[in-house]
Structure 1
Amino acid sequence: MTTPLLSVKNLSKTYRGPGGKDVLAVRGVSFDLAPREILGLVGESGSGKSTTGRLVLRLEDATTGEITFNGQRIDTLPQRALRPVRREMQVVFQDPYAALNPRMTVGKFVSEPMEIHKITAGRTETRDRVADLFKQVGLDPSFMDRYPHEFSGGQRQRINIARAISISPKLIVADEPITALDVSIQAQIVNLFSDLQEQLGLAYLFVAHDLAMVRFLCHRVAVMLRGRIVEIAPTESLFQNAQHPYTQALISAIPIPDPARERARRALSYTPDEAALSGELREVSPGHFVLQA
């Protein structure tokens, strides 16, 4: 069996809520991610998907749990010791414009990580590398000296992706990277993620709402509800044989591109109680785990 690139065990995060009451945003999350694998993390808003991604990247510290990356325990590392690890773990955020610096040319924005980590030597080599990155993500290198406001949403996300791959990471956490884009552009960006994964051997933790895109892109899918993973399985196993009622409800809500079938279908609903979320993940078929009391 392949040694996991990323291993998360019993990860939890508690925030202080209104009135001083603790809010458990992520609770007991465990999963492995193999090299070159794409794991989709899906669920409704507030389910803890994005928080899990931020904890993995150490943008926030977990309350409890362990995070092992590339064989090294990183959840206890001090910030200074994290710096070489950060070179191998990058992020693509949901809002491509907010992620850019409006006062910095996009070429400078893409080159910044290379300069910080001393990947290139000198201005000429850096500009050549940025030009290559622009071509790789489908942008004209002549755009390097422009500013973020001069680009469309899809182009801005391509720029963010170029920055993420600029220092040759092993893992990219993509935090709903297509949600803020026009529908016509979303498929292009997902295809770009797929192409880069094949070309560069990347692993992705892909946080998303769009189950159709997740089915197209991901090798496995983990379904989150109220901070817990309720089902995790190979993609086709999950979509063809969903076991948890929440997963079944999510899949039943996927639009069908056939007006007659769309009108006739019946979406399922699921309202869990705390008892339903207090069980353990159990293997129901090879690689397919379901939360059971």
Structure 2
Amino acid sequence: MTAPLLVVQDLCRTYRSRGWMGRGFVTRAVDGVSFQVMPGETLGLVGESGSGKSTTGRLVMGLEEPDAGRVVFAGTDLTALSPAARKPFRRRMQIVFQDPYAALNPRMRVGDFVEEPLVVHGLGGGAAQRREEVAGLFRTVGLDPAFMRRFPHEFSGGQRQRIGIARAIALQPEFLVADEPITALDVSIQAQIVNLFQDLQERMGLALLFIAHDLSMVRYLCNRVAVMLKGRIVEAGPTEAVFNDARHPYTRALLSAVPIPDPLRERGRRRIVFDAGGYAFPPDAALREVGGGHLVLQGAST
């Protein structure tokens, strides 16, 4: 069997802050998260806002340091490496951020922005060769190379996200984190960006960690899905297994909130209510297999 490209083991991240009257607050944003991503696979990471999805993506990329746990990429434990030793791996792992407006430097021409990773890593040859490569990247993501001399404010949200994707694939990575890349876009543009990810995955053999709220898009794009609640994965497995036979009450509540494009069925459908704020994990809760790689967080007696 093919070895996993990415292995995340017991990843934890806690934030501490000081509030009103000196009171301290502790937030366990990521609490013992473990998963694997195979070469060429797309894993969808879903959950409500504040569940820890984006923090998990940032920890995987090394943009934040975990309090505990390991991130193993291609057999190498990245959490044990110094920042300098991680640099070669940054060529192989890239990220597309959620907000296409904030992700671009407003003072840089977009061609320079996409070219920057090539300069930093000493790739692409001379300046003329790099510009030609950047032009090819623009064509790959569906943009006219004539746009390379423009500034970010001259583009729409969908075009800016395409520019961010072009920068992310400039180093020809093996693994890509897409951190809610369609949330800030119109519905029609969302479909175009998802199709672009599919095309790039087929063309480059990318493995993808796709973080999203839109469960319909996750079902369309992802081979497997993991559902996060309060910093923990509560259910994971093949996409169709999770969608067709959800076992955790939180997963069922999320799926019941997905609208159905049929007015008659939608009108008579019952929403499942789940009190996430009042929910407490069983003390002995662990991910247990219920069949075919389908895992559910439950206590031993459940």
TM over 0.5: yes
C-alpha distance in structure 2 between counterparts of 1:116 and 1:181, whole Å? 30
Aligned to 1:279: 285
* Correspondence 1:43 to 2:47: yes
TM-score, length basis structure 1: 0.98
* Correspondence 1:60 to 2:64: yes
Aligned-pair CA distance for 1:35 = 0.6
| Residues 96 and 160, structure 1, Cα contact 8 Å, conserved in 2 | yes
Residues 2-13 of structure 1: matches in 2 within 5 Å? 2-13=2-13
* Pick aligned residue for 1:188 from 179, 189, 192: 192
* Pick aligned residue for 1:130 from 120, 129, 134: 134
Aligned to 1:200: 204
C-alpha distance in structure 1 between counterparts of 2:160 and 2:270, whole Å? 38
* Correspondence 1:241 to 2:221: no
Aligned to 2:114: 110
C-alpha distance in structure 1 between counterparts of 2:118 and 2:90, whole Å? 12
Residues 195-274 of structure 1: matches in 2 within 5 Å? 195-271=199-275, 273-274=279-280
Q: CA deviation digits over 1:29-85, x for unaligned, max 9?
A: 000100111000000000000000000001000011111001100012111111111
Greater shift, 210-219 or 12-21, is seen at 12-21
Q: CA deviation digits over 1:169-202, x for unaligned, max 9?
A: 1111110000011112100000000110000000
Q: CA deviation digits over 1:134-173, x for unaligned, max 9?
A: 1100000111111101100000000000000000111111
C-alpha distance in structure 2 between counterparts of 1:255 and 1:143, whole Å? 38
Long gaps (5+) in structure 2: none
Aligned amino acid, residue 286 of structure 1: G
Greater shift, 99-108 or 75-84, is seen at 75-84
After TM superposition, the runs of 4+ consecutive aligned structure 1 residues lying more than 3 A away are 275-278
C-alpha distance in structure 2 between counterparts of 1:33 and 1:58, whole Å? 17
* Correspondence 1:147 to 2:178: no
SS of 1:96 mapped into structure 2: coil
Q: CA deviation digits over 1:250-269, x for unaligned, max 9?
A: 11110010111111111101
| Residues 154 and 185, structure 1, Cα contact 8 Å, conserved in 2 | yes
| Residues 228 and 277, structure 1, Cα contact 8 Å, conserved in 2 | no
SS of 1:212 mapped into structure 2: helix
Aligned amino acid, residue 9 of structure 2: K
C-alpha distance in structure 2 between counterparts of 1:178 and 1:98, whole Å? 14
Aligned-pair CA distance for 1:278 = 5.0
Aligned to 1:31: 35
* Pick aligned residue for 1:290 from 284, 293, 296: 296
* Pick aligned residue for 1:158 from 158, 162, 166: 162
* Residue-pair matches, total: 293
Aligned amino acid, residue 217 of structure 1: L
SS of 1:75 mapped into structure 2: helix
Aligned-pair CA distance for 1:271 = 2.4
C-alpha distance in structure 1 between counterparts of 2:285 and 2:98, whole Å? 32
SS of 1:199 mapped into structure 2: helix
C-alpha distance in structure 1 between counterparts of 2:78 and 2:190, whole Å? 33
Aligned-pair CA distance for 1:2 = 1.7
SS of 1:267 mapped into structure 2: coil
Long gaps (5+) in structure 1: none
| Residues 48 and 225, structure 1, Cα contact 8 Å, conserved in 2 | yes
Aligned amino acid, residue 38 of structure 2: A
C-alpha distance in structure 1 between counterparts of 2:81 and 2:26, whole Å? 25
Q: CA deviation digits over 1:213-243, x for unaligned, max 9?
A: 0000000000000000000010111111111
TM-score, length basis structure 2: 0.95
Aligned amino acid, residue 113 of structure 2: F
Identity of aligned residues (%): 62
* Pick aligned residue for 2:24 from 20, 27, 38: 20
Q: Please, what is the CA RMSD of the aligned residues?
A: 1.0
